[in-house]
């Protein structure tokens, strides 16, 4: 089928995606509140649900956003974080997915309050029983899951009533924490001076059990640049770091012939290698999601048009795709 062009409407800034085959999800805005309790007009029981993004652990190294429908209830933010804790129920839900709960078993939430955009969350001491090297991932799972709520912009973490300034094995923490810290952080080999850098968000793929494929966000630190849009695409084309458990369905030989952003439309002209992929419609879907999600971090872009050597390509994947 010949697509006139790839039109992907990005209604919200998408910083997370889901299991392929599930409905796409984005940021959910809520009214400002002075506590952790969220309220909504009463709905029939089967409809009184909230689509919520949870960040689970993949291969012990990456966080993967997964959308789950959970009941609207008082203290929904607390309930959401509880479902990140390893337990018989949570581990059973994740069984067969290749994902794990990021918070250590036995972790309890001592308290949680949300005021003026800042979430104060107090964990029991089991929170500190994180595996060495996974401290940052642990924090990011909490921060990115809580900031899916429109009332939360920053997170302050305590353990047994004391501000967490350092993990037992010496990993220091500067609080409060927010999404500016990035997720699944990588530093490009091209970076020579960490003082002069930019951050871009790119999306790669991960293979789960039972033929599942995940779209995984990666924040990559790169040399400082004035053109972050093109830089993000270039990093996407470079693919995952060597030795990574991630992969990209975009051929590594692909180059950008041209890039133009005008009135919300990003038009990208790729080299002919763009069509040298394997995997049929599944690979096409992965490629399009990788590109669209990468570009959706930029508020000036809400549509995407893809060309190959200046021409509209033929694909088996029917267009358009809409992302909420």
Distance CA 165, CA 323 (A): 38
pTM of the model: 0.81
pLDDT bracket for residue 8 (50, 70, 90)? very low
Asked if residues 220 and 234 have their Cβ atoms less than 8 Å apart, the reply is no
Q: Give the angle subtended at the CA of 225 by the CAs of 219 and 231, to the nearest 5°.
A: 55
**Whether pLDDT at 26 is above 60:** no
pLDDT bracket for residue 164 (50, 70, 90)? very high
Cα dihedral angle (150, 153, 157, 162), rounded to 10 degrees?
-110
Portion of the chain with pLDDT greater than 70, in percent: 81
Distance CA 190, CA 114 (A): 40
Q: How large is the average pLDDT for residues 189-206?
A: 91
| Per-residue model confidence as pLDDT tens digits over 109-128 | 999 999 999 999 999 999 99
pLDDT for residue 195 = 86
Q: Whose structure tokens read 């929904």?
A: 76
Portion of the chain with pLDDT greater than 90, in percent: 65
Q: How large is the average pLDDT for residues 144-169?
A: 95
Mean pLDDT of the chain: 82
| Per-residue model confidence as pLDDT tens digits over 200-224 | 999 999 987 766 789 999 999 999 9
- Domain spans in the chain, listed from the N-terminal domain onward: 8-12+184-323, 45-180
pLDDT for residue 315 = 60
- Range in 58-72, 208-222, 226-240 the model is least confident about: 208-222
SS3 280: helix
Distance CA 232, CA 294 (A): 7
pLDDT for residue 278 = 83
- Residue of 104 and 28 predicted with greater confidence: 104
DSSP 29: -
pLDDT for residue 43 = 38
Distance CA 144, CA 53 (A): 9
- Residue of 314 and 60 predicted with greater confidence: 60
SS3 314: strand
Asked if residues 74 and 33 have their Cβ atoms less than 8 Å apart, the reply is no
pLDDT for residue 210 = 65
- Residue of 91 and 6 predicted with greater confidence: 91
pLDDT bracket for residue 293 (50, 70, 90)? very high
pLDDT for residue 153 = 97
pLDDT for residue 46 = 53
pLDDT for residue 47 = 65
- Range in 12-26, 83-97, 105-119, 263-277 the model is least confident about: 12-26
**Whether pLDDT at 6 is above 70:** no
pLDDT for residue 3 = 29
């Amino acid at each position: 089928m010949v697509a006139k062009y790839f039109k992907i409407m990005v209604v919200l800034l998408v910083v997370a995606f889901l299991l392929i085959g599930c409905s796409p999800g984005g940021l959910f805005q809520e009214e400002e509140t002075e506590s952790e309790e969220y309220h909504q007009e009463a709905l029939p029981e089967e409809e009184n649900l909230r689509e919520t993004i949870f960040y689970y652990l993949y291969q012990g190294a990456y966080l993967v956003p997964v959308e789950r429908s959970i009941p609207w209830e008082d203290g929904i933010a607390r309930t959401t974080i509880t479902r990140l804790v390893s337990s018989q129920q949570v581990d059973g839900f994740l069984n067969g997915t290749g994902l794990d709960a990021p918070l250590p078993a036995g972790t309890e939430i001592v308290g949680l309050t949300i005021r003026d955009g800042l979430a104060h969350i107090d964990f029991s001491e089991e929170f500190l029983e994180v595996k060495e090297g996974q401290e940052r991932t642990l924090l990011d799972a909490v921060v990115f899951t809580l900031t899916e709520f429109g009332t939360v912009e920053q997170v302050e973490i305590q353990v047994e009533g004391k501000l967490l300034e350092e993990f037992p094995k010496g990993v220091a923490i500067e609080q409060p924490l927010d999404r500016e810290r990035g997720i699944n952080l990588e530093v490009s080999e091209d970076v020579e001076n960490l003082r002069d850098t930019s951050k871009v968000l790119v999306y790669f793929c991960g293979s789960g059990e039972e033929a599942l494929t995940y779209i995984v966000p990666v924040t990559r630190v790169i040399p400082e640049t004035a053109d972050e849009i093109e830089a993000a695409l270039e990093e996407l084309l470079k693919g995952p770091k060597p030795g990574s458990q991630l992969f990209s369905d975009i051929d590594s030989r692909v180059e950008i012939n041209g890039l133009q952003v005008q009135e919300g439309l990003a038009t990208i002209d790729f080299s002919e290698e763009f069509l040298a992929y394997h995997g049929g419609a599944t690979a096409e879907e992965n490629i399009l999601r990788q590109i669209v999600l990468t570009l959706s971090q930029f508020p000036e872009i809400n549509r995407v048009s893809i060309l190959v050597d200046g021409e509209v390509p033929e694909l088996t994947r029917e267009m358009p795709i809409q992302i909420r």
